[in-house]
């Protein structure tokens, strides 16, 4: 029988739990303590600025020896019955020794988890408890991502972002960019120390409570640009050029081309 890694998981969503109503950690496995739960709540969103059939992948460090890989997507109606859909974030939490089995590659974890049936809905969260997710000891081989984005543009975007990251700057890449290609190139080039602290999201809105090192945004309206500028985030467009900093300007690059999916849904 194949040996498996037992990975803690959690779900952040909207619920009425009596004393607590609204967005909260509605379910978690046994290895997630209250301190870790608070950190996961801080990094999990209550809004998703993407279409109903789209989702965001995020990666961030939770503690010195643990990292989180999360998938945020649309769920069913909110408990309040006001007619809006809830935003659900499904989270996998890996110890560093487990993460090492995947060469510290969050994309390898995410693609293997999705292929194995994890990071998906529906999940039964009624009891508040979840079993640990089971992942193979090695990443599953996944087909290469097909993209119509120029390989040179991916490299230029990643290299421009890398130059800023090693200076401890935060970056937002705006436009129809291939997130997977950029992230893969960053992971191969980042020094090990910087790689441990690396974090990204492929669609969550920028906020002070979630200081991702790299944001991937399909477009940025004046409000989003203002938030990015206020946080000191450097904005790049596809290809690595610096985006306008004026908060009166919307940034929408390559508007007639759809950004490629990060991973298979």
Residue 257 lies in a domain: no
Q: What does the block give as tokens for 220?
A: 């940025």
Cα 3 vs. chain centroid, distance in angstroms?
27
- pLDDT for 75: 87
Same domain for 98 and 36, yes or no, is yes
- pLDDT category, 257, cuts 50, 70, 90? very low
- Mean pLDDT to the nearest integer, 218-246: 83
| Average predicted confidence (pLDDT) for the chain | 85
Q: Which domain holds residue 69?
A: 4-136
* Whether residues 88 and 164 fall in one domain: no
pLDDT of residue 1: 61
pLDDT band per the 50, 70, 90 thresholds, residue 215: very high
pTM: 0.88
- Residue 33 in any domain: the answer is yes
> DSSP per residue over 19-79, as a string?
S-EEEEEEEE-TT--HHHHHHHHHHS-S---S-TT--EEEEEEEETTEEEEEEEEEEEE-T
Tell me: do 88 and 169 sit in the same domain: no
**3-class DSSP state for residue 243?**
coil
Coil, strand or helix at 214: strand
For residue 251, tell me if it sits in a domain: no
Whole-angstrom Cα distance, residue 64 to residue 42? 17
The pLDDT assigned to 148 comes to: 54
Strands annotated E in 80-188: 85-95, 133-136, 171-174
Cis peptide before 95 (omega within 30 of 0): no
- Together in a domain, 92 and 196: no
Q: Are residues 115 and 167 in the same domain?
A: no
Q: How far apart are CA 141 and CA 130, in angstroms?
A: 27
Count structural domains, the chain. 2
Is residue 255 pLDDT above 50, yes or no?
Answer: no
Question: What local confidence, expressed as pLDDT, does residue 252 receive?
Answer: 43
pLDDT value for 194: 78
Q: Does residue 14 sit in the same domain as residue 114?
A: yes
| pLDDT grade for 157, boundaries at 50, 70 and 90 | very high
What average pLDDT does range 163-173 have in this prediction? 93
């Amino acid at each position: 029988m194949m040996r498996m890694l037992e990975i803690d998981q959690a779900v952040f969503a909207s619920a009425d739990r009596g004393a607590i109503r609204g967005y909260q950690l509605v379910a978690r496995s046994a290895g997630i303590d209250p301190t870790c739960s608070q950190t996961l709540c801080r990094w999990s969103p209550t809004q998703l600025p993407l279409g109903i059939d789209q989702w965001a992948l995020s990666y961030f460090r939770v503690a010195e020896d643990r990292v989180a890989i999360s998938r945020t997507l649309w769920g069913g109606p909110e408990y309040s019955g006001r007619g809006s859909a809830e935003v659900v974030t499904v989270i996998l939490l890996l110890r560093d020794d487990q993460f090492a089995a995947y060469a510290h590659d969050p994309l390898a974890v995410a693609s293997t988890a999705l292929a194995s049936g994890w990071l998906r809905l529906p999940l039964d969260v009624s009891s508040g408890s979840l079993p640990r997710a089971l992942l193979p000891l090695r990443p599953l081989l996944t087909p290469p991502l097909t993209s119509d984005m120029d390989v040179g543009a991916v490299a230029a975007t990643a290299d421009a972002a890398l130059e800023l990251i090693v200076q401890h700057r935060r970056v937002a890449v705006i436009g129809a960019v291939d997130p997977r290609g950029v992230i893969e190139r960053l992971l191969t080039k980042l020094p090990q120390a910087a790689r441990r602290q690396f974090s990204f999201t492929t669609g969550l809105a920028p906020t002070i409570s979630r200081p991702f090192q790299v944001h991937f945004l399909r477009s940025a309206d004046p409000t989003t640009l203002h938030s990015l500028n206020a946080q000191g985030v450097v904005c790049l467009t596809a290809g690595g050029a610096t985006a306008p900093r004026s908060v009166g300007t919307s940034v929408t690059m390559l508007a007639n081309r759809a950004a490629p999916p990060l991973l298979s849904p």
